[in-house]
Amino acid sequence: MKIDSVRAVVTGGASGLGRAVAQNIVAKGGKAVIVDLQEAAGQSTAREIGASFRYCDVSVEAQVDAMMQSARAEMGGLNLLVNCAGIIGAGKLIGKDGPMSGEFFEKVVRVNLVGTLLCDKAAATIMQQNAPSEDGERGLLIHTSSVAAFEGQIGQVAYSATKAAVMGMTLPIARELARFGIRCVAIAPGIFMTPMVAGMTAEVQDSLGKQVPFPSRLGRPEEYAQLVQSVIEIAMLNGETIRLDGAIRMQPR
């Protein structure tokens, strides 16, 4: 798939990794609709980068289905979904205030995992009707996993569970949708300069960066966007989870 032919929905696109992805797609001649719960930030980002914005809670099926159809209609097609929406969900199984509540765990699962599934399903339903490219491709689904899927730290019980699950369903989805020419790939970022990290002190940011073997710094959102572009352009990338982490292996805490 050529990036200038991309018609993309990017969830969590108001900031961070999602914003960088949408910005790169538009800059390279493609079209993008960014999806987020942060309406003011989403509208502002859309204006700044030349994209469109849709308010949508990815954990609500009816909202997701309507958003995908609206995005397809506006862009004149849909052939890429990049799932960047998610919540941190930090919390210990047995914390200072007692055991983790089932409701807390379910919320993280609902947003990070079920939200990805709902978006995948809605997008793939549209993509299967696309005219195939020369090599038979009709679309691409990208999941955002995390190094926490491999080395979850203390306090990441819910988060790690969802990111491992997002990774785990990548191959089955790729295998199932192969008959339509729709690929599915997951990216597992390490420690990146996201809005959450940006709110930390410079000392904490520097400390986090030094944990990365090389390059010893925080990952940049534009690097995630570059990898997304590579996945778009290399059709043989399918059913795989790609770590983007500077060789970091997270410690227990």
Q: Where are the domains of the chain?
A: 3-189+219-239
Mean pLDDT by 10 residues, the chain (253 residues): 96 96 98 97 97 98 98 98 93 93 96 98 98 94 96 93 98 98 97 81 84 94 98 98 94 86
pLDDT for position 197? 79
CA 77 – CA 149 distance, rounded (Å)? 33
Give this prediction's pTM.
0.95
Phi, psi of 99 (to 5 degrees): -65, 150
The packing angle between helices 170-177 and 157-168, to 10°, is 20
Please give the pLDDT value at position 156.
92
For 127-179, write each residue's pLDDT tens digit.
Answer: 999 999 988 999 999 999 999 999 988 999 999 999 999 999 999 999 999 99
CA-wise closest residue to 24 among 1, 41, 4: 4
* Superfamily per CATH, domain 3-189+219-239: NAD(P)-binding Rossmann-like Domain (3.40.50.720)
pLDDT on residue 252: 87
For residue 16, the tally of other CB atoms under 10 A from its CB is: 20
The residues annotated with a catalytic role in the active site are 159
